[in-house]
Structure 1
Amino acid sequence: MGEGERYQEFEPPAALRPFVRTLWTYAAPAPEPTVQRIAPDGCPELILDIGAPYEEQGEDGVFRLQPQALFAGQMTRPLALRPVGPVELVAVRFEPDGARDWLARPLAEATDRRLDMTARLAGVTAPADDPEAQVEVMVRLLEDHRRRHAWSLDPTVRVELEAAFADQPSLVRSAADQRALQRRFRDRVGVPPRMLRSILRFRRVFDHAQGPEALGWLEAGLEAGYFDQPQLACDFRRFLGCTATEWARDQVGLARSLASQSYKPGPLSPH
């Protein structure tokens, strides 16, 4: 990490654990002014910027400033960000199906979108350079909403998610039940079950490509479940918009921190 740069993850309290995977903070007083590529990870997020928000590249190639507070839905394509000043933020990474009651609308409406939460989080402030206090602010916000709105999970969706995270096959279902599952995923997760599995497989590549026993990209891809190098290369283009070599060479800042800490899918939080 660069001078003064920090990334930290925090466990959610027990009452939030079925819905929230982790809370995390990131700060970079002097970020490198380069484009950072963020890959899908299967989890929606709520993000509050304490410093200068990032610029996000739109489909037209133009960079536009993100709102100070945003909800990032499921991603099916790469996200390109660029810092414009000192960065500091606190974020909630929900479980794939954990944000439905917070958002109060189908998750499909947020897929590949960053929804402006500035009005909804009006009056919510977090102190600078105090990760623990920043996380406490978000925990209080979520806990209050959870109690008032009685958050819940869809057991059928959670069973399918558990199989996906464990890299186990789906349950055998009738055509009607499979269509119903697709509808439930659209509402609760935001992407179909097959797409989520593709995202998780891609994220597993980084699990095998980093750490003390790191493998090369091809070997990591084979361990993650890819058949060959062309299939892996296709997903790098699909989910990161570049080759594995380009990504490894260019990753900086937040992209590097998320890659080193958060690519591992891991089990779902307990019910």
Structure 2
Amino acid sequence: MDYQTFRPHSDLEAVVNCYWTLEVPAENNAQRQRIIPDGCIEMAFILGDDIKRYSSQDEFILQPRAMVLGQTIEPFYIEPTGYVNTFAVSFYPYGFANFVSIPIKNLANKETPIELLFEPNAAKELEQNIIQATTTKQRIEIIEHFLLGELNDTRTIDKIVKMTIDVLQATNGSASINTILNEDLSKRRQLERNFIKQIGVSPKQLGKVIRLQTALKMLLSEKAESLTHVAYESDYFDQSHFIKDFKEFTGVNPKDFLGNENMALSTLFYR
């Protein structure tokens, strides 16, 4: 697997986390890969062979070749049908709402073709330009030109939503919403409504995903002395709480995560 990341232009760095590319040679017996929620929304372009996304053990769809993958709160499986070649944009949790007018909650837990989110002719032209480009540098220039043209006023994002995400990220997802709001419970309902609309998941769900990221990175860094140590360093109440949340978002226990062939792709992303 060849996975690379690239920094965005300074005019987009407040909303775009990174650009990434992934190339994997075709394999006769490719393993299904479990994709774990990471709190980000992504716009992806499939440049290689088709990729299956499983909705059950035996049922699948072919992912759109130019799509936006909204917030996910549970793991799902994908399976390449051959050569994998993907170019993608990873947006910060509040990033993608700056480019579209529809509620972000409508994108959650599914792939949406880009022509349903942007002017269809412009979306089709973008897809064709990305496909015809011969280098990652060219693709980044193409997507940045498009995004800068679509960028709304960044004040689109509610200040309290932005502040809440900043605090959750700074505290690895462990800060309580009541603490962030200084115990002003009158603001909580409004925050949750705006969060669902602009982020796609609730503040609590995003906090759990961010905290899981901290634990995953610790497991993969080989600095973990024990599961109890990981739970403590990631601000879980105890080891059982950590294992419960870990299994909710990955589908497996922490001990079964490392070395799991179905987790190879997620392991690569989190490293």
Out of 1, 5, 9, the position equivalent to 1:9 is 5
Measured at CA, do residues 218 and 65 of structure 1 come closer, stay the same or move farther in structure 2, by a change above 3 Å?
farther
Amino acid at match of 2:161: V
Measured at CA, do residues 67 and 173 of structure 1 come closer, stay the same or move farther in structure 2, by a change above 3 Å?
same
Please name the residue that 1:29 is paired with.
25
Out of 232, 250, 255, the position equivalent to 2:266 is 255
Cα pair 1:100 1:107 within 8 Å, conserved? yes
Measured at CA, do residues 256 and 135 of structure 1 come closer, stay the same or move farther in structure 2, by a change above 3 Å?
farther
**Deviation per CA, 1:1-56, whole angstroms, max 9, x where unpaired?**
xxxx3111111111111111111111112356111111111111111111123211
Measured at CA, do residues 243 and 156 of structure 1 come closer, stay the same or move farther in structure 2, by a change above 3 Å?
same
Distance 1:61 1:36 in 2: 14
Distance 1:175 1:204 in 2: 28
Distance 2:169 2:193 in 1: 20
Please name the residue that 1:41 is paired with.
38
Identity %, equivalent residues? 25
Please name the residue that 1:156 is paired with.
160
Out of 29, 49, 53, the position equivalent to 1:52 is 49
Alignment of 1:227-242 (within 5 A): 227-242=237-252
SS in 2 for 1:52: coil
Alignment of 1:162-241 (within 5 A): 162-167=166-171, 168=175, 169-211=179-221, 213-241=223-251
**Please, which runs of 5 or more residues in structure 2 have no aligned partner?**
none
Distance 1:215 1:49 in 2: 39
Please name the residue that 2:112 is paired with.
115
Alignment of 1:45-124 (within 5 A): 45-59=42-56, 61-117=58-114, 120=120, 121-124=123-126
Amino acid at match of 1:135: I
Instruction: Give the root-mean-square deviation of aligned CA atoms.
Output: 2.1
Amino acid at match of 2:258: A
TM-score scaled to structure 2, two decimals? 0.85
Distance 1:103 1:81 in 2: 27
SS in 2 for 1:242: coil
Cα pair 2:41 2:90 within 8 Å, conserved? yes
Distance 1:29 1:60 in 2: 25
Measured at CA, do residues 61 and 231 of structure 1 come closer, stay the same or move farther in structure 2, by a change above 3 Å?
farther
User: Which structure shows the bigger proportion of residues in helix conformation?
Assistant: 2
Amino acid at match of 1:236: F
Amino acid at match of 1:183: R
TM-aligned CA deviation for residue 118 of structure 1:
5.1
| Matched length | 254
TM-aligned CA deviation for residue 77 of structure 1:
0.4
**Please, which runs of 5 or more residues in structure 1 have no aligned partner?**
261-271
Distance 1:6 1:244 in 2: 25
SS in 1 for 2:124: coil
**Deviation per CA, 1:209-231, whole angstroms, max 9, x where unpaired?**
22363444442232111233322
